[in-house]
Amino acid sequence: MESASRSLGLTSEVELRGLAGELFLAQVVELGLPHVRIEHWPTTARSLELLPEPLLRVREEGRDAIVVRLGTSLAHLSVWNGWVYAELAAADEAALRAALAELKQLLPSPDPSAKHEVNVTFWTYTPHGPQPSSRTIAVPEWDEIRENYSARTRAGLDAIMRDFQPAHGGQLVLWHGLAGTGKTFGLRALAWEWRGWCELHYIVDPDSFFGAHADYLMNVLLQPAYSQIALGGAHPALAGEIAFLGAGEEAPEAAEKAWKVLVLEDTGELLAADARMQSGQGLSRFLNVVDGLIGQGLRVLVLVTTNEELRKLHPAVARPGRCAANIEFEALSAEEVAAWLERRGVTECPGSPAILASLYALAEGFDAGETARTAGFAAR
């Protein structure tokens, strides 16, 4: 790297928003820092004001970016949409680890357990490409809501809430059943029960995700590389000259929580029997993610909820070996309805099977015969 610092010159056209990234790269070369690391994490911080005086600060449209010295290390930091994106450079790995530890104290992650919340990344495709937005969602524990489900549905959910092991079986979790049977409630509880080993990524526009924008799909699946996009990217001239920790390898502290769950809510049309005619290659790309070459070697699960009956879905979706879990959300039986209402002190009982939404309407004094207003996971 010493020789590189004497002979390597970087020339590029710099826009204002990329100025911080270019300064960082120039300093890495000038100072001869051979170790570079890229990290990203959700944070409660909305600015970088707690950091030392920066060499450069750029603010734009809710984004705060700086280049700053942290002891003997150099950092390029950006805070945007509830996430920290960091590039760190140092003379050795020990200095990198010390700088990263300092940053995570100054820019802490949310503490979901304190408020019974989990962090969820919501993805959309914009004119500027894939864009993530981080939010915390209030969630229940599974034990709080398990009596909302029929015996058969409850047994299936019990199995994946507590005893599920990723990488044992397929990469698809399929939930199907009538609207109003509690799929969104169940999804929120699952987010809490799985919080220790995975991150939830909610795809707002699955038609685009599996459609014409292949970069959308690959950016989400290979998200460690996304931090390079947010920070302006690593200069190709530095390839091979710096010890780079990014998309190709994981930091030791990230290894324990390396799984990613892609949530596709109410996505029956993508999986319908005539999906190839209606949505082109969407179904094929979906299947390639769950057990094709695209998904091979990735710690990714895909959780799909749909109001469609299983028989109306494409037979390839529920093929044996493809689904890690295939759970039907049923209406509660007449006996289960009576018990549910009794626990809530409701004396009026329809004496017939009912869906969860109508029971909540009845318990709150509304007409259970009316169609209940539903809200998806993203609205919570």
Q: End of a domain among 75, 109, 143?
A: 109
pLDDT band at residue 10, thresholds of 50, 70 and 90? low
pLDDT at 168 over 90: no
Structure-model confidence comparison of residues 366 and 266, the more confident one: 266
pLDDT at 161: 94
pLDDT band at residue 303, thresholds of 50, 70 and 90? very high
Lowest average pLDDT, out of 76-85, 99-108, 333-342, goes to 76-85
pLDDT average, residue stretch 210-225: 80
Q: End of a domain among 59, 84, 109?
A: 109
Are 1 and 242 a contacting pair, CB within 8 Å?
A: yes
For residue 276, which of 229, 210, 185, 357 has the smallest C-alpha distance? 210
Distances (CA, A) of 18 to 65, 216, 299, 346: 10, 22, 32, 61
| Greatest mean pLDDT among 50-59, 77-86, 363-372 | 50-59
Task: Please report, for the domain that includes residue 275, its CATH number.
Answer: 3.40.50.300
pLDDT at 353 over 90: yes
> What is the span of the domain harbouring residue 64?
2-109
pLDDT at 335: 95
pLDDT average, residue stretch 163-191: 89
Task: Please report, for the domain that includes residue 80, its CATH number.
Answer: 3.30.310
Statement to judge: residues 161 and 285 lie in one domain = yes
Q: What share of the chain is helix, strand, coil (3-state, %, to 5)?
A: 40, 25, 35
Contact residues for 225 (Cβ-Cβ < 8 A; gap 6+): 219, 246, 247
Residue 96 counted as domain residue: yes
Q: End of a domain among 330, 351, 369?
A: 330
For residue 305, which of 276, 324, 326, 282 has the smallest C-alpha distance? 326
pLDDT at 293: 77
pLDDT band at residue 274, thresholds of 50, 70 and 90? low
Residue 173 counted as domain residue: yes
Statement to judge: residues 102 and 134 lie in one domain = no
In angstroms, rounded to a whole number, what is the distance separating the alpha carbons of residues 245 and 234?
A: 12
In angstroms, rounded to a whole number, what is the distance separating the alpha carbons of residues 307 and 270?
A: 12
Quote the percentage of the chain above a pLDDT of 90.
42
- Secondary structure element (H or E) that encloses residue 188, with its range: helix 183-193
pLDDT average, residue stretch 331-358: 91
In angstroms, rounded to a whole number, what is the distance separating the alpha carbons of residues 141 and 284?
A: 35
Statement to judge: residues 139 and 177 lie in one domain = yes
- β-bridge partners, 25: none
Residue 101 counted as domain residue: yes
pLDDT at 15 over 70: no
At residue 135, φ and ψ (nearest 5 deg) are -140, 155
Are 148 and 185 a contacting pair, CB within 8 Å?
A: yes
Statement to judge: residues 80 and 168 lie in one domain = no
Tokens of 241: 């000259």
pLDDT average, residue stretch 305-313: 77
Helix 356-363 to helix 334-343 angle (10° resolution) is 30
Q: Tally the residues of the chain.
A: 380
What's the total number of domains in the chain? 2
- Residue 356 burial (CB < 10 Å; 0-12/13-18/19+)? buried
Cα 26 to the center of its chain, rounded Å: 33
Statement to judge: residues 97 and 205 lie in one domain = no
Cα 318 to the center of its chain, rounded Å: 23
pLDDT band at residue 339, thresholds of 50, 70 and 90? very high
pLDDT at 106: 93
pLDDT average, residue stretch 181-185: 95
Statement to judge: residues 134 and 42 lie in one domain = no
Tokens of 17: 């928003």
For residue 211, which of 263, 264, 286 has the smallest C-alpha distance? 286
* Beta strands, E only, 91-154: 117-126, 129-138
Q: pLDDT tens digits for 224-246?
A: 533 333 444 434 333 333 344 44
pLDDT at 347 over 50: yes
Statement to judge: residues 91 and 119 lie in one domain = no
Statement to judge: residues 162 and 103 lie in one domain = no
Residues 269-294, buried b or exposed e (16+ Cβ, 10 A)?
A: ebbbbebeeebeebbebbbbbbbeeb
Lowest average pLDDT, out of 95-109, 114-128, 152-166, 238-252, goes to 238-252
Q: pLDDT tens digits for 127-164?
A: 888 988 888 888 999 999 999 999 999 999 999 998 88
